């Protein structure tokens, strides 16, 4: 989600036949706040690549489960987790404030540590852990409201493509809670922002990362989205996961993850028992981190989502320019 003419030209160049930025959902939640995620929709090429990867992950999981059943005794859940190789993610946090007071968005370090703890708790069963490397504080009235994405990212982005940059402005345009970018084959896709296409020349390496309004952090003011789960959701995108409601309703491609039940539209609040695709197996995955429910209602990734995140991380983020890290 780039809020500038760069966005339009880059999006046009890259997403020729796609709908570009999604701003799904406008049903009011409790207190008038709405979960609204600005992560751009997948391009047709991403859909193709991620689907292939998800199929491979599923086949591997099924194979492991079948083997476990043959040898007996081992629970399939244990097998699903055992096969995943623990990964430690370095995290760089960037606070985009309007002044040095807490009310200017100048976050206390303790609140940032709380957010990292939430990430660690939510991703623990997926075998990802997050390790804070550094916090930068910028005071800039444009950046503090999420404007000039190119500017703040080109100044602040740290680390490698394996590392997570989290940007915390006070607020974001278009009432978004956050947005992220899916992982890409950098060497191929960097060019889509090229100046000759009307872009700024910023590459996808620089844009990579997660932007979240800081009142969604634990103890933030944006109830019922203030338990830190916006970060969990956006980091899920950063690992390559789509929304559980995908696109195209009950007959659409969904999220390409076969163990999350298909749902027709985002779920808001905490609608236990919701089933928007009654002809498809399972109730809607309203507790899944990649849905739109309130923070307190979001509790899980599915086994295949976990396996897929590892595959995508290994394929895209640890394999930049074809060189395995
Ligand atoms: C940023 O600070 C300026 C000057 O103090 C103030 O006018 C403005 O409302 C502040 N913006 C936000 C988003 O707090
Ligand atoms: C941490 O960030 C600060 C502010 O950007 C910077 O001055 C410092 O060099 C950084 N330290 C490390 C270890 O990266
Ligand atoms: C603050 O943001 C403006 C507008 O995006 C930018 O031009 C400027 O360089 C930034 N200031 C600093 C100190 O980085
Ligand atoms: Ca169903
Ligand atoms: Zn999202």
Distance from the CA of 287 to the center of ligand 5, in angstroms? 14
| In the predicted structure, residue 30 carries a pLDDT above the cut 60 | no
Distance from the CA of 277 to the center of ligand 5, in angstroms? 20
- Confidence at residue 13, expressed as pLDDT on a 0 to 100 scale: 31
Q: Cβ(148) to ligand 3 under 6 A?
A: yes
- Confidence at residue 191, expressed as pLDDT on a 0 to 100 scale: 46
* Residue 45 within a domain: no
At 23, is the pLDDT very low, low, confident or very high (cuts 50, 70, 90)? very low
* Residue 267 within a domain: no
Domains held by the chain: number: 1
* Residue 201 within a domain: yes
Distance from the CA of 291 to the center of ligand 4, in angstroms? 15
DSSP 110-168: HHHHHHHHHHHHHHGGGTEEEEEEEEEEEE-TTGGGT--HHHHHHHH--S-TTSEEEEE
| In the predicted structure, residue 269 carries a pLDDT above the cut 60 | yes
At 316, is the pLDDT very low, low, confident or very high (cuts 50, 70, 90)? very high
At 15, is the pLDDT very low, low, confident or very high (cuts 50, 70, 90)? very low
Alpha-carbon Rg for the chain, nearest whole angstrom, is 19
- Angle 168-170-175 from CA coordinates, rounded to 5°: 105
What average pLDDT does this structure show over 240-248?
A: 93
| In the predicted structure, residue 2 carries a pLDDT above the cut 60 | no
At 20, is the pLDDT very low, low, confident or very high (cuts 50, 70, 90)? very low
* Residue 294 within a domain: no
For the domain that residue 223 is a member of, what is the CATH number?
3.40.390.10
- Confidence at residue 180, expressed as pLDDT on a 0 to 100 scale: 97
Residues 6+ apart with CB under 8 A from 62: none
- Measure the CA–CA gap between 144 and 168, rounded to whole angstroms: 8
Nearest to 2 by CA among 164, 203, 139, 185: 203
Angle between helices 109-123 and 229-238 (to 10 degrees): 60
Nearest protein Cα to ligand 2, atom 6: 136
At 201, is the pLDDT very low, low, confident or very high (cuts 50, 70, 90)? low
Q: Cβ(136) to ligand 2 under 6 A?
A: yes
Give the Å distances, CA to CA, from 42 to 85, 88, 114, 165: 27, 26, 31, 21
Phi/psi of residue 86, each to 5°?
A: -50, 135
- Confidence at residue 248, expressed as pLDDT on a 0 to 100 scale: 84
- Confidence at residue 213, expressed as pLDDT on a 0 to 100 scale: 97
Q: Cβ(151) to ligand 3 under 6 A?
A: yes
Distance from the CA of 299 to the center of ligand 5, in angstroms? 15
Of all residues in the chain, the percent with pLDDT exceeding 90 is: 67
Can you tell me which atom of ligand 2 is nearest the CA of 158? 14
* Residue 37 within a domain: no
| In the predicted structure, residue 60 carries a pLDDT above the cut 50 | yes
- Confidence at residue 75, expressed as pLDDT on a 0 to 100 scale: 66
Domain that holds residue 104: 88-240
* Residue 174 within a domain: yes
Q: Is 86 a catalytic residue?
A: no
At 183, is the pLDDT very low, low, confident or very high (cuts 50, 70, 90)? very high
Nearest protein Cα to ligand 1, atom 13: 145
* Residue 190 within a domain: yes
- Confidence at residue 14, expressed as pLDDT on a 0 to 100 scale: 32
What average pLDDT does this structure show over 215-239?
A: 97
| In the predicted structure, residue 168 carries a pLDDT above the cut 90 | yes
Which of 13-17, 77-81, 309-313 has the highest mean predicted lDDT (pLDDT)? 309-313
At 193, is the pLDDT very low, low, confident or very high (cuts 50, 70, 90)? low
User: Which residues contact ligand 1 via a Cβ below 6 A?
Assistant: 98, 141, 144-145, 170
Nearest protein Cα to ligand 2, atom 4: 136
At 25, is the pLDDT very low, low, confident or very high (cuts 50, 70, 90)? very low
At 71, is the pLDDT very low, low, confident or very high (cuts 50, 70, 90)? confident
* Residue 46 within a domain: no
Nearest protein Cα to ligand 2, atom 13: 134
| In the predicted structure, residue 296 carries a pLDDT above the cut 50 | yes
Q: Out of 80, 149, 150, 234, pick the active-site residue.
A: 234
């Amino acid at each position: 989600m780039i809020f500038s003419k760069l966005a339009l030209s880059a999006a046009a160049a890259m997403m020729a036949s796609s709908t570009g930025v999604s701003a799904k959902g406008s049903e009011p939640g409790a207190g008038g706040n709405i979960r609204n995620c600005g992560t751009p929709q997948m391009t047709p090429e991403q859909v193709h690549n991620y689907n292939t990867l998800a199929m491979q992950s599923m086949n591997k999981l099924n194979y492991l489960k079948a083997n476990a059943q043959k040898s007996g005794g081992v629970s399939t859940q244990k097998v699903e987790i055992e096969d995943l190789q623990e990964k430690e993610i370095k995290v760089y946090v960037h606070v985009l404030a309007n002044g040095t007071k807490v009310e200017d968005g100048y976050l206390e370090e303790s609140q940032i540590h709380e957010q990292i703890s939430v990430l660690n708790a939510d991703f623990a069963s997926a075998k990802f852990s997050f390790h804070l490397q550094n916090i930068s504080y910028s005071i800039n009235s444009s950046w503090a409201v999420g404007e000039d994405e190119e500017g703040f990212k080109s100044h602040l982005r740290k680390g490698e493509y394996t590392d997570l940059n989290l940007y915390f402005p006070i607020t974001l345009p278009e009432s978004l809670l956050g947005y992220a970018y899916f992982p890409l084959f950098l060497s191929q896709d960097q060019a889509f922002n090229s100046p000759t296409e009307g872009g700024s020349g910023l590459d996808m390496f620089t844009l990579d990362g997660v932007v979240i309004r800081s009142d969604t952090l634990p103890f933030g003011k944006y109830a019922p989205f203030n338990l830190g789960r916006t970060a969990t959701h956006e980091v899920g995108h950063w690992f390559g996961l789509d929304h559980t409601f995908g696109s195209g309703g009950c007959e659409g491609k969904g999220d390409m993850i076969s163990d999350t039940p298909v749902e027709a539209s985002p779920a808001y609040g905490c609608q236990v028992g919701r089933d928007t695709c009654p002809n498809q197996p399972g109730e809607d995955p309203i507790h899944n981190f990649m849905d739109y429910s309130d923070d307190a209602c979001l509790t899980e990734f599915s086994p295949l989502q976990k396996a897929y995140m590892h595959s995508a991380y290994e394929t895209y983020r640890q394999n930049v320019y074809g060189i395995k890290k």
